[in-house]
Structure 1
Amino acid sequence: MSSGLGASMGMATDVSKLIGALYDSACGAGDWPQLDSAGLSGQQWQELLPHLQRALFLQQRLREAQLASHCALAALDAMGAAVLVLDANLGLRFATPAGHALHAAQLAHAAPPALVRAVRLVIASAGCAAQCQSLRLARQQQAPLALTVTALGACQPPCALLIARDPTQASTSVPALRQLFDLTQAEAQVGKALAQGATIEEIAARGGISVNTVKTHLHHTYLKTDTRRQGELIALIHGATAHLAILDA
């Protein structure tokens, strides 16, 4: 009888240690009162366990949500654009770091009337055929930003998604062009220069090579990208690498 009682007490001690570990994991050291496992009865352990399980579940869900949020922000930053979510009064509901900077510098005090109209128009159209508005935002001593405004679905209050890009920012990456189309370093550099608006003569002068050498690189690039004209090649490059601005090299 005494041996059975000793075994039960030992099992209770093991269970109390397990639940104590769950408590520490769920609540975090220093965040909640320390659990005095020696002072809890079996009935108290039974009452405590479901709450600990629920705390662990919520903690896991919170960690997953935080990871998803972190990944989303990292992806937006990698696209090289400022992203903001604005309500109909241009109140800021969400922004990436670049979006916060843009809002503080140009939108917080006096938003341009054209932007106000665009935001309200896309919000008003959210219930039917959603519209997308494009406009430019003037900057002092810099080229205007290109803005795209579209409705943000399933959002209360209704909001608009604003994406701002600097058109002058490089939008091609030599390493990416080499990897995507199996180009040589020289071919990728010619493709990048063309995509940024340079002529064949300008590319030759900048690189210290002949025009014929540039044309040879361009011909090889046509073959590897299955294109035939400069315009077709430039469109392909922009479409394939526009989201890799911060990876430019």
Structure 2
Amino acid sequence: MDTGTVTADVSKLIGAMYDSACGTGDWPQLDSAGLNGQQWQELLPHLQRALFLQQRLREARLASHCAQAALDAMGAAVLVLDASLALRFATPAGHALHAAQLEHAAPPALVRAVRLVIASAGGAAQCQSLRLARKQQAPLAVTISPLADCQPSCALLIARDPTKTCTSVPALRQLFDLTQAEAQVGKALAQGATIEEIAAQGGISVNTVKTHLHHTYLKTDTRRQGELIALIHGATAHLAIVDA
């Protein structure tokens, strides 16, 4: 194989690297026929660096997408606010909350809590919790914590509607190996229903509900309704699943 053929093969390889690193639409096309060996050598390190940076960007985008999916799965409004309560990041639910209640007139208690949390970021980090009032709806439960390694300093705000349960019958069945009926009883109890109400809603006897509840106690290693409800809330607190 002569030198010209080798140079042509190398130029094709580097040309492919160029297209991969820079894209074909955003950068000038590489005229491989017009470059000599010295120019190829000078270009190669820059292409290698571009490929490395491109890979890092892809990894960062993947991490960002994964984090966004995790936040969405929490079923909460998530916002990042600076000391002036300017919005730095928000999930879709966070954007809605900010537009509805924080953008124009944030409650003084929330302003104080955000600034206190941000001021504590340099020392012993402090978290704050408060209730955010809403018109004709139950208050939101809000937790505010410092956001590390953020410039300017910011606070992470997570707001949940305490009246909305994330308890899911399919999740309870999978977590504790419950039957459909047992999981439905467990969910109803976690939502505040009594045994009599569960029986009436399901069209079954109170004794049948008690039987399902007894089996659920055995499978979850609990003994009383309070223990079972606490276990269900703790096990499904991170879920935002709509029941099938």
| TM-score range for the pair, normalised by the shorter chain length | over 0.9
Q: Output the amino acid matched with 1:129.
A: A
Match of 1:185 in 2: 180
**Contact 1:170-1:248 at 8 Å conserved across structures:** no
Match of 1:225 in 2: 220
Q: How many residues align?
A: 244
Structural RMSD (CA):
1.2
1:150 aligns with 2:145: yes
Q: TM-score by structure 1 length?
A: 0.95
Match of 1:60 in 2: 55
Percent identity of paired positions between Structure 1 and Structure 2: 88
1:108 aligns with 2:130: no
User: 2 CA distance for matches of 1:129 and 1:19?
Assistant: 52
Match of 1:159 in 2: 154
1:161 counterpart SS class: strand
Give unmatched runs, 5+ long, in structure 1. 1-5
How far did 1:141 drift? 2.4
How far did 1:158 drift? 1.8
User: 2 CA distance for matches of 1:146 and 1:208?
Assistant: 35
User: 2 CA distance for matches of 1:216 and 1:129?
Assistant: 50
Q: TM-score by structure 2 length?
A: 0.96
Match of 2:136 in 1: 141
1:205 aligns with 2:200: yes
Match of 2:81 in 1: 86
Stretch moving more, 134-143 or 161-170: 134-143
How far did 1:92 drift? 1.2
CA deviations over 1:194-243 (Å, ceiling 9, x no partner): 00000001000000000000000000000000000101000000000011
Q: Output the amino acid matched with 1:106.
A: Q
2:170 counterpart SS class: helix
User: 1 CA distance for matches of 2:202 and 2:93?
Assistant: 34
Moved over 4 A (4+): none
Q: Alignment partner for residue 8 of structure 1, among 3, 6, 16?
A: 3
**Contact 1:79-1:246 at 8 Å conserved across structures:** no
CA deviations over 1:27-81 (Å, ceiling 9, x no partner): 1111111111111111111111111111111000000000000100010001101
Q: Alignment partner for residue 210 of structure 2, among 212, 215, 236?
A: 215
Q: Output the amino acid matched with 1:24.
A: D
